[in-house]
Structure 1
């Protein structure tokens, strides 16, 4: 058995720590390697992250630069538009100034034109107005004379319409009152029923024209006219003289057709005259004579004779038109206005004779 010496006892002690140092060194080396690997990975990761961030930053920078360029272009375009609008505004102001000056010039011209028109209005009427006034005065006078002489309300009404149209052609508004007076007299003529008088006249004219076609009344012969015995003296005298009894013979109107129709036509014309003169008793009397002549002379069973009798009855029952109005107010007013207008005109100065000595 071997004895332990201090040297032998210390040998294992020195070995054990030596073995543990190698293991720690290995573990430290392994840790250092892992640490280095981790550090490399971290460095690579950091480099990659930095690269990514740099790429993203460059992309954002490019986007921002693009946007800045767009904003710069837009700003430049807005600046140009603003300058264009300023120039247009300046042009519009210049044009408005020119238009304002033209308007002021037009106002001056319009004032001058109004003054010229006023001066022309103050002067005498032109030849056209004078001719229109002369025509209106002549037509009004003609209408009054026609109504007074012929009682022709239709003709007077037509003449008044012509006079109103002639005054309408005049440019002077002073004669508008005369047109109102003409309109009032035209209404008075229309209230006198000239259409009814015209219809009655047309019916009488048609009746007079139809008299020649009416058939005569049939004559009835006396049954014992040729059966009475004649005495000897009467037979002898009958060779030289013939005597007839009017009590058994037709009337003169039935024996003489032309004379009968002429007498009835004369009565028809008398009725027309009485109608124009607005003489109601004379008109009724003339119609009664016409009716009696037609009843005595013509066949009452004929349809034309019956129609003629019905026309006569209708005309006799028709009320006479009212009295005709008094005309002349419009004519007098027109003459007064023309006289006043002529007196208000200034008298033109006489033209001096150039050949006369002062």
Structure 2
């Protein structure tokens, strides 16, 4: 039996010529498909980008339109606020005018009511006006000018006018006027005039009896050196020195007269504090002119009496009649308006 001939190991398989000619076509088809896919993808991306840009442009357009609408709404809102403010101002003016008209109407109604009141007497009203004016004049002349005579005349004229009023409602008022008039008549002289007269009398006393420089004579039992040098020097207390030289005494006397003049000016304006201070300074100048003696004590006492004098008129009931008259007139004016 014959063995088949062995196949050599180095022999390679043979490729079919048909299969070898087919693979380039597959490569070309793949490349064409890849190119087609790339072209389609590029066109799809371009279309998507265009669509996105169109959406962005549309959104921007809508945002611009919305901003314009918001601006228009804000303008309309401002216009509405201005109209509301103008309307509020107009309403406020109208309300004030209505209130003013109401007040004027109330005043007119009150005036008509007063004129229509049968109990109101025109002559009596004029007399009460005159009484009030005279009382005001009298009080001012007494408090401001210190004219006691003028005040008494004003109160006397007011009493005469009030006597002509026959209304029984004013009987108590006339009694109050009589009491106040009696208190004013009891004042007597003006205390300011009395104080000025006392100052003038004190100044005349100084001019009639001026201070004389006279040192005390040394006693007989004084030491020899004190009797020998008595005309050369004099020892005085430190807290109180009496002027001895003529020039010093003339200056002290002039200062005393000046303080008295200041006291007169303070009395004229009824300044009690300045009046007392000026007399206190004058008292100090007295001690500069006179040594301790009975004459100095008398002049001190005179200045103290002048300083204790009052300068203002004091009437506790001053103005009570005027106040009562005004209350009665106010009550008479209120009563007609309260009637139905």
Q: Report the TM-score range of the alignment, normalised by the length of the smaller protein.
A: 0.3 to 0.5
**Normalised by the size of structure 1, how large is the TM-score?**
0.39
